Structure 1
Amino acid sequence: MSTTYSISDLARELDITTRAIRFYEEQAMLNPERRGQERIYSAKDKVTLKLILRGKRIGFSLAECKELIELYDPGHGNRKQLETFMHKIAERRAQLEQQLLDIQQMQLELDTAEERCLAALVTAQA
């Protein structure tokens, strides 16, 4: 018998809220089995949630996470998924490098503004 999870089991195991899980379901990223009002999540749903959370941690949008998840084809391997993932990683890395440069530039501008303020304060006290 395959492993199944309730929404509270998944929330507890993955340290997220049940509301977050329902949100991903509303976004058509999860499709749990239903038994009356109860949601029954599969091991695949758990893996999907882990992928979503990992994607969010590295800065991917939900749309990007969904795209990567949808590319997985168990019958034909996951080469396309991995190639797309590598491309998105490279894009994200480039964005972060640009942000780092922007932050360093802003720090230099703050240093300059601070020096000018200090000089003006010294002049004003004289």
Structure 2
Amino acid sequence: MRKLSIASILAATLVSSSAMANPPKKDKTLTRQIHELLADNSICAKNQDLTATVLFTLNEEQRIEVLVVQTDFVEVKRFLTRSLNNKKVVIPDFKEGRQFTVDIRIVPRQGN
């Protein structure tokens, strides 16, 4: 009986040690989070890629504050501003006020 309890304690220790040795996956990258925010869209890119460059900062709550959207497409500018502004993201080494630039490309959906 005693051997059984020692074996179960040893097994529990090994399981908990291996869980600590393999920490959970890192947080999603900022680029991946922005991609997810923009994934569900109704922008129709008819036979052309729609492009834009977005300049933004993060406030103290790590919410996006869109500063500038550079694009030739008014609909894309509205969509990006509406989809990104005030959305929460989480990044390591967060520093309030740091500015980011991201290039966005919306491509025609397959089958359209």
TM range (shorter): under 0.3
Normalising by structure 1, report the TM-score: 0.26
The two structures have a TM-score, normalised by structure 2, of: 0.28
Q: Which has the higher contact order (CA 8 A, sep 6+)?
A: 2
Q: Which structure has the highest strand share of the two?
A: 2
